[in-house]
Structure 1
Amino acid sequence: MFAFLRLMVVLLICLTPIYWGLLLYARARCRARLSQRWQEKGLTTGRQAFIQRGLKRYDRSFQRRLVLLVYILPLGAIALVIYLVNFS
C-alpha cells in the first residue's frame, strides 16, 4: 500500500507541470479566439472587456474542467490495473 501511495505522489508531481502547461495553452487559445471574434464582429471599443468577459465564461466552462483529465485518467488507469491484478 505504501508503494502505491508513493507511486501516486510521484505521478502527481510529474503530471502537475503537464496540467499547468495544458491549462495555459488552452487559455491562450481561448484568448486568441476571443480576440479574433472581436475583430470579426467589427467592434470598435471594449476589446479588453470583451476578452475578460469571455475568459470568465471560459473559467466556468466544461471545457476547462476537462483539463483535469490529465490527473484523473493516468491515476485511475493505474489504480484499475493494480486492483485487477491483485483482486481478479
Structure 2
Amino acid sequence: MFAFLRLMAILLVVLTVIYGIVSLYSREVRRAKLKRRWAEKGLTGDRSAFIQRGLHQYDRSLRRRLILLVYVVPLGAIALLVYVMNFM
C-alpha cells in the first residue's frame, strides 16, 4: 500500500509539471496568434489591451479546460487497470 501511495505522489508531481508546461505553452501560442491577428488586420489602439482581452477569453474557453485531461486520463487509466486486475 505504501508503494502505491508513493507511486501516486510521484505521478501527481510529474503530471503537475506536465500540466504547467502544456498550460504555459498553450497560452504563449494563443498570445502569438493574437499578436499576429493584430498585425494582419492592421488594427489601431492599445495592442496590449487587445491581447489581454483575448487571453481573458482564452482563460474561460473550453480549450483551456481540456488541458486538465493531463490529470484525468492517466489517473483514470490506472484506476481502470486496478479495477480490471482485481475485480474481473
The size of the alignment, in residue pairs, is 88
Aligned amino acid, residue 60 of structure 2: R
TM-score, normalising length: structure 2:
0.92
Give CA-to-partner distance per residue, 1:20-64, whole Å, 9 cap, x none: 000000000000000101111111221100000000000000000
Task: Name the SS of the counterpart of 1:43 in structure 2.
Answer: coil
- Structure 1, unaligned stretches of length 5 or more? none
Q: State the distance in 2 between where 1:78 and 1:48 align.
A: 43
TM-score, normalising length: structure 1:
0.92
Task: Name the SS of the counterpart of 1:51 in structure 2.
Answer: helix
| 1:10 and 2:22 correspond | no
The residue number in structure 2 matching 1:63 is: 63
Identity score, percent = 64
Q: State the distance in 2 between where 1:85 and 1:2 align.
A: 19
- Structure 2, unaligned stretches of length 5 or more? none
Q: CA RMSD in A?
A: 1.2
The residue number in structure 2 matching 1:76 is: 76
